Chains A and B, each alone.
Chain A
Amino acid sequence: MNAKSLPDLVPDAKLKLPKQAERTLASGLTVIAIRRTSVPLVELRLRVPFSKAALPRATLLSQALFTGTGTMSSIDIAAGLQAVGGGLSAGLDPDRLLVTGNALAGGLDRMLEILASVLTDPAYPKSEVATERDRLVDHIQVALMQPGHVARTALLKRMYGSHPYAVQTPEPEQVRGVRPAQLRSLHADRVRPNGSVLVLVGDLSPEKAIDAAEKALGSWTGPGRDETVPATPPLEPGPLLLVDRPGAVQSSLRMALPAVPRTDPQYAALQLANLVFGGYFSSRWVENMREDKGYTYGPHTSIEHYLAGSALTVAAEVATEVTGPSLLETLYELGRIASLPPGEEELEQARRYALGTLRLGMSTQAGLAGLASIYASFGLRLEHLREHSAALASATLDEVTAAASRFLAPAKAVTVVLGDAEKVAAPLAALTTVERDA
């Protein structure tokens, strides 16, 4: 056996941002176009402000957005997009309606034309809407059997109380009651260019792509409605909420902790503290829970940003018989990082991971499109990557220690466990106060 040493890393070149252009159209639509010519494609992301829209209607609208226009059926739309190698789909989060798509680069004009027609001349035909409504109801019924979905639903309620973010999936019964006329009216009221951001990334000339967008979407006009969501309430820790799932072979452990937005001066330090704790594979919590104890397969934590507030969430699916011990290790690792400074080397490792994956994330058209679109919906631009990289590079051990004690203290956690209550209630109660779901 010949001992070999680990090769050194060649330092990264300076962060290079792609060529881009931006224009806000007369309608209030902001268009950002970014050039990356690696493959002859174009990526499209459109985010439309949608805060406070009635959830059942908004959810069905996102599902039925491409069901027809005054001149095109759902099949015409799909076939028209396909002909240029394209596809468009829509989704919803508590702040935005999101349209995602891509096509062969030569199909950009056609994709924009079809998108414009969907935005300005929607039909929501009765029969197609009925089909989408039934599909959505079935989809929600299946989600209600997914442990991840049920645990998240319970966690959101505990995190947000009476805030609009508390419920993010409608009840099947509510969806059944939505009529096409209500979708038309919601569309007319809220699917508006003002405040919306369109991002185009790919094998394109930025100025020409913006011209194309301006030409295609020029007829999409009308005032946007300002719906400001109140700031999210502070987390109220309270007892652990145990939600029963009889017969479950695993328990879904979820926690929420406080966090700050991307632009906060403490954000880089918080991101690093989160990484050291549980935010990547080589973190204390994952190494402990998975590689040492074998309690779980894919434990993970993440910082979630909404317009009205940010939160850090912790998630693991653990074997039913080790549910108590899993909570014990989780509380231990949170307590450890909140109470003691991390080591120099583990901080450097986390720092390099944060800086490196940021480069990986912008190495594809789709990655750039997602990043630019998310940033834009928080009023940021790709240039923020430079500032954020600098903040990650300069965050000190003291700052990370301070962020960890402020944000990762187990005493601040809202905790939910979904599992077989008969088996896990007692082991959990040995560690903390447990409250059963009514």
Chain B
Amino acid sequence: MARSRKIPATKYPVERFTLDNGLRVVLTPDRSAPVVGVAVVYDVGIRSEPEGRTGFAHLFEHLMFQGSENLEKLAHFRHVQGAGGTFNGSTHLDYTDYFEVLPAGALERALFLEADRMRGPRLTEENLLNQIDVVKEEIRVNVLNRPYGGFPWLKLPPVMFSTFANSHDGYGSFGDLESATVDDAKAFFDRYYAAGNATLAVAGDFDVAEATAMIRRHFDDVPARPAPVLPDFDEPGIDRERRDTYTDRLAPLGGVASAWRVPDPIGDFASYLPFVVLAEVLTDGEASRLIERLVQRDRSVTSIGGYIGFMGDEFGVRNPTALLLQAHMPPGGDSDKVLRTVDEEIDRLVQDGLTPGELERTQARIATHLLRDTDAVLGRALPMAVLELQRGDPGLLNELPRLVGEVTEAQIVTAAATLRPEGRSTVEVLPGAGS
């Protein structure tokens, strides 16, 4: 039934240049819709925050919206939305992004706004205290006041990793957040928010020459400051299985998540990419191996998902990172049994290989997901800014569907063979609701 199908590709043009202050710029024009996406990405994330300051990278992201050289508090939001646009930012393990999507005629305004805060945010005691409160409410919404909050992205790293950088809670403890100071924020900006530590990407409906002139007009006078040396966060892998358990007082049912280290996503991309495909072979859709076995046949889980990178950003994370499997279980679920079955299925894959068509259909579906994401201007601007920042290769976005399609069965089997029980870190959430 399934036959090999040619995987289509995109051909978004890519223009790159670097300003004298070190800012790396990517332009990817496409005039099919009258909108633009602007992304600025800084090479600092959760892993770089200092000890005693958990959650600081994210708190600082909030402070970047609180006004800057020429902008009062609230002005950034009003100028973007008053131009018919939307905005946001997000903090990842290895980078922090800021972005806008706007009608094409607002491009220069967005560039002005990003350049202004790249020169320096207004860091005041009042804004800091306000945003500490806002971040605490964000943590309450996403972690403390709901079932499975932080499962597994905040719960697994401390089981799996040993260093502070890799294992700490990226949302931060309330104690650490409350002790953050304006001086901390100034030091963080000075150290990490240099133009030479950032990339800017613009996607959508613009003329390259005009956009280049606008970028020069607004960013050329951002002072050059030295970029920090990129830290190596690598740490040794584990030598025997690790496991932890906690009770979630809001969870009515149990869950379990496991993670295995994978090759360096950047230094060893050729070995890494098969893991991206493997995660989908295992869990993408009802016909995938683990869903067929655990959900449909055994009914030992109600859902299971697999992905790479604790935040699901498989092409925006550096070493060390992991392939994760996370499952929710029915009443009376048995996590040991679930893990044994996962082992069994991985062994079966390693011994018997894939079934006819299994790899091709998984690759076709991954291609759809990748292509679909790039249809939005932000789905080009953001990943290209990150790919430029981490790899100097924004054009990789065009290549991903094809590269995914070139992964072979032998590579999948080799990748699967590394997912051994002794290399696994597991966290189980026990249902605490009603008890």
Some 15 contacts from A to B, beta carbons below 8 A apart, are A4-B69, A9-B83, A13-B34, A40-B371, A79-B361, A85-B368, A86-B365, A86-B368, A104-B367, A106-B8, A135-B302, A295-B133, A317-B137, A349-B82, A359-B103
Per a CB cutoff under 8 Å, which of B106, B137, B148, B371 touches A319?
Answer: B137
**Would you give the shortest CB distance from B249 to chain A, in whole angstroms?**
8
Q: Give bound CA distance, A12 to B85, whole Å.
A: 12
Question: B8 to A104, Cβ gap below 8 A?
Answer: yes
- In the complex formed, the residue of B with least CB distance to A7 is B108
A66 to chain B: which residues have CB within 8 Å? 286
Does A134 belong to the interface (CB within 8 Å)? yes
Question: A359 to B84, Cβ gap below 8 A?
Answer: yes
Does B112 belong to the interface (CB within 8 Å)? yes
Question: A290 to B134, Cβ gap below 8 A?
Answer: yes
Question: A83 to B1, Cβ gap below 8 A?
Answer: yes
Residues of B with Cβ closer than 8 Å to A? Answer: 1-3, 5, 7-8, 10, 30, 32-35, 69-70, 73-74, 77-79, 81-87, 101-106, 108-109, 111-112, 116, 129-138, 140-141, 144-148, 214, 221, 249-253, 284-287, 292, 295-296, 299, 302-303, 328, 330-331, 357, 360-362, 364-365, 367-368, 371-372, 374-377, 433
- In the complex formed, the residue of B with least CB distance to A316 is B137
- In the complex formed, the residue of A with least CB distance to B10 is A39
Q: Give bound CA distance, A360 to B376, whole Å.
A: 9
Question: B85 to A360, Cβ gap below 8 A?
Answer: yes
Residues of A with Cβ closer than 8 Å to B? Answer: 1-13, 16, 36-41, 66, 74-87, 102-107, 128, 131, 134-135, 138-139, 141-142, 144-147, 247-250, 280-282, 287, 290-298, 317-319, 348-349, 352-357, 359-360, 362-367
Question: B104 to A10, Cβ gap below 8 A?
Answer: yes
In the complex where A40-B371, A365-B375 touch, is A355 in contact with B84 (Cβ < 8 A)? yes
Per a CB cutoff under 8 Å, which of A102, A105, A128, A317 touches B8?
Answer: A105
- In the complex formed, the residue of A with least CB distance to B138 is A297
Per a CB cutoff under 8 Å, which of B5, B84, B302 touches A352?
Answer: B84
- In the complex formed, the residue of A with least CB distance to B292 is A75
Q: Give bound CA distance, A102 to B141, whole Å.
A: 32
Question: B78 to A282, Cβ gap below 8 A?
Answer: yes
A76 to chain B: which residues have CB within 8 Å? 287
Known: A40-B371, A104-B371, A364-B376. 20 other contacts (CB 8 A): A7-B112, A9-B109, A10-B105, A11-B105, A39-B372, A74-B296, A75-B292, A82-B285, A134-B330, A135-B302, A139-B302, A281-B87, A294-B132, A297-B138, A298-B141, A317-B137, A355-B84, A359-B103, A364-B375, A367-B376
Question: B371 to A41, Cβ gap below 8 A?
Answer: yes
Question: B145 to A250, Cβ gap below 8 A?
Answer: yes
Question: A87 to B285, Cβ gap below 8 A?
Answer: yes
In the complex where A41-B375, A355-B84, A357-B84 touch, is A317 in contact with B141 (Cβ < 8 A)? yes
Question: A82 to B106, Cβ gap below 8 A?
Answer: no
Question: A360 to B112, Cβ gap below 8 A?
Answer: no
